[in-house]
Structure 1
Amino acid sequence: MGTPDFSVPVLQALVDAGHDVVASYSQPPRRAGRGKALKPSPVQARAEALGITVRTPVSLRDAEAQAEFAGFGADIAVVAAYGLILPRAVLDAPARGCLNVHASLLPRWRGAAPIQRAILGGDADTGVCIMQMEAGLDTGPVLLRDATPVDGKTAGALTDELSAMGARLMVAVLADLAGYPPVPQPEDGVTYAAKIDKAEARLDFSQSAAVVERQVRGFNPPGAWFEIAGERVRVLAADLDRHPGEGRDRAMEHASEQADGPGLRRGDGVVLDEFLTIACADGAIRPTLLQRAGRGVMTAGELLRGFAIPAGTQL
C-alpha cells in the first residue's frame, strides 16, 4: 500500500525477495500535464508492470472496500506513504497486521512530511522505522530502525536514501518476524510533521542564514523561491556566508537610498554584491543553483548574465 516514488523501491524489494504480493493499493490516478490526462501513481504504474492486481479506492471507510481488502487474505499489509487513513477494519484484516515504513526516527516527526521537517528543523540525523500500525497517528511500536546523517542533503536526496533504507529494513523484518519484537515508542520526544504548505517554500530572509539554507534544501524538490519584479526565482542550492562583512553595510545604505516609499526594508533580503549574496537576519546566503520560470537550472553567474540583480536590490 503506497503511492509516490518513495514507495516504489519497497514494492520492488518485496517482489525481489520472493514474497507473494496479492494486491497493490494506491491512491487514484490524478490529472497531470498540459492535457490534464489521468496519470497513475508511481506505485500503480510499477505494480501493473509487475503484473500485480491494483486497487485505487478513494477511501477505505466503506464496507464494500473493506470487504474487498479482507478478501485478498493477506498475511501482512506493507504500507509506505500510502496517503489514506486505514480504518480499524483494514488494520485488523491481515493475519499479522500492518507494517509501515516511516521515514523518521520515531517518536520524532510523526505525520505527513517527516523528511522535510527533519531538514527544516535542523536535525543532525534522521532515518527509517518499521512500525506496527495501530489506530493512532504513527504511534505504533517499532520493530526495526536505522539512522543516517542529514548532513547537508536535500529533501530529494534524503527521500531516495530513506526509501532504499526502508525497503532493506522491511525485507529484513519480513524474513524473521520473530526476531524483531515490537518495542513501544517512548513517551518523550514526540513531534509532529505537519503537511507542507506551498507558501512555506517562499524564502524568509528575516530568519537566520542557517534557517534559510535549510529552507533551500528542505523544499528541493520542487525548490524554494524568492520574488523579484513579479517573477518567482527558484533556489535549488545555496552556500552559507556567516560573515558578509562591509559589503552588507554598503548594500544596505544603497538600498535605503534607492527606496521608493516605505515598503522597502533595510536589511533582510538585500542583495549584497555582484555574486547574488543575500542578507538574512544573521549572516547571508549565496545561491549557487537557480531556475527562472520556464527555464533550465543555471548557476548564479549564468542567471545574472541575462537577468540583472544589482547589489542593493531588495528581494
Structure 2
Amino acid sequence: MGSPAFSVPALRGLVEAGHEVACVYAQPPRPAGRGQRETPCPVHQAAIEMGLPVRTPARVRRDVAEHDAFAALGLDAAVVVAYGLILPGPMLAAPRLGCLNIHASLLPRWRGAAPIHAAVLAGDAETGITIMRMDEGLDTGPMLLREATPIGPRETTAEVHDRLSAMGARLILRALAERPAEIPQPEEGATYAPKLGKEDGRLDWAEPASALDRRVRAMTPWPGAFTALGGEVLRVLSAEPAPGREAAAGTVLDDAMLVACGGGTALRLLRVQKAGRAAMEAGAFLRGHAVPTGTVLG
C-alpha cells in the first residue's frame, strides 16, 4: 500500500525477494502534466509493469465493501509506505501479522505526513527509518526496527528522500524475515510533521540566514522555496549563508544576489528560476535580469 516514488523500491524489493503480493493499493489516478491527463501514481505504474493487481479506492475509512475486499485477500501482512489514506480498525486488524509501516523518521520524532522535510528544516543531525506495526493513532504503533542515517550539512530533502527510500525497502524485508519483537514507542520526544502546502516554501527574510538555508534545502524539490522579485515569483533552488551586514530584511546587498536576512546575516542565492523559465545559476540569471544593489525581495 503506497503511492509516491518513495514507495516503489519497497514494492520491487518484496517482489524480488519472492514474497507473493496479493494486491497493490495506491491512490487513484489524477490529472498531471500540461494536458492534465489522468495519470497513475508511481506505485500504480510500477505494479502495472510487474503485472500485479491494483486497487485504487478514493477512500477507505467508512467503506465497508473495501474493508471486506481487503479482508478477503487473506493476507499475512500488509506493507504500508506513504499510502496517503488513513486505514480504519477493520483493515488494520485483517492481516495476520498486522499492517507494517515504513516510516521515514526515527520515531517518535516526526510522526506525520512530512517527516523528511521536517528533519531537514529543523537542522537535525540524523534521521532514519522506523518499521512499525500500525495502530489507529498517528504513527504511534509499536516499533520493530529502526536504523539511523546522518543528514549532511548541505543535503536537501530530495537527497535524504532517496537514501531513506532504499533503506526502507531493505528494512521491511528484514522485518518480515526476522519477525523482531515489538517495542512500544515512548511519548517523550514525540514531534509532528504536518502535511506541507506551497506557502511553506515562502522565504521570510526576517529569519536568520541559517534558518532560510535550511528551508531552501528542506523544500527541495517540493513545494520549492520562493520569494518575490518585482512582483513576480522567484524560486530559490540553491543558496548558502554568507557574511552579511545590518540592512533591511530582503535587501540585495551586492551585484551577486547576496540578500540581507535577520540578525545581520545574509544568504547568497546560487540557483534560481522564474515562473515558466529554465532554472539558472545566479550569474547567468543576472546577465539577463537586472537586480541592482538595494532591490528588496519579498
Give the TM interval when normalised to the shorter protein: over 0.9
Q: Does structure 1 residue 273 correspond to structure 2 residue 250?
A: no
Spell out the pairing of 1:41-190 with structure 2 (5 A cutoff): 41-60=41-60, 61-151=62-152, 152-177=154-179, 180-190=180-190
Backbone CA RMSD of aligned residues = 1.0
Q: Which amino acid in the other structure matches residue 158 of structure 2?
A: G
Spell out the pairing of 1:10-21 with structure 2 (5 A cutoff): 10-21=10-21
Moved more, 129-138 or 291-300: 291-300
Q: Which amino acid in the other structure matches residue 160 of structure 1?
A: D
Residue 34 of structure 1 and its aligned partner are, at CA, apart by: 2.1
Provide structure 1 residue ranges, at least 5 long, that are not aligned to the other structure: 253-266
Q: Deviations over 1:138-191 (max 9, x none)?
A: 0011111111111121111111111011001111111111xx111111120011
Give secondary structure in 1 for the equivalent of 2:270: strand
Distance 1:172 1:297 in 2: 41
Other-structure match for 2:279: 297
Give secondary structure in 2 for the equivalent of 1:27: coil
Distance 1:187 1:95 in 2: 27
Q: Which amino acid in the other structure matches residue 18 of structure 1?
A: G
Q: Which amino acid in the other structure matches residue 184 of structure 2?
A: P
* Structure 1 length-normalised TM: 0.91
Distance 2:204 2:249 in 1: 9
Distance 2:196 2:187 in 1: 25
Distance 1:102 1:40 in 2: 23
Other-structure match for 1:262: none
Segments of 4+ in structure 1 off by > 6 A?
A: none
Distance 1:308 1:164 in 2: 43
Distance 2:272 2:72 in 1: 50
Residue 197 of structure 1 and its aligned partner are, at CA, apart by: 2.2
Residue 292 of structure 1 and its aligned partner are, at CA, apart by: 1.4
Q: Which amino acid in the other structure matches residue 314 of structure 1?
A: V
Distance 1:90 1:153 in 2: 37
Q: Deviations over 1:116-153 (max 9, x none)?
A: 11111111111110001001100011111111111121
Distance 1:271 1:19 in 2: 57
Distance 1:32 1:230 in 2: 27
Residue 74 of structure 1 and its aligned partner are, at CA, apart by: 1.0
Other-structure match for 1:286: 268
Distance 1:308 1:148 in 2: 42
Residue 42 of structure 1 and its aligned partner are, at CA, apart by: 0.3
Residue 293 of structure 1 and its aligned partner are, at CA, apart by: 1.4
How many pairs align? Answer: 293
Q: Does structure 1 residue 22 correspond to structure 2 residue 29?
A: no
| Same amino acid, percent of matched pairs | 52
Distance 1:206 1:8 in 2: 39
Give secondary structure in 1 for the equivalent of 2:269: strand
* Structure 2 length-normalised TM: 0.96
Q: Which amino acid in the other structure matches residue 183 of structure 2?
A: V
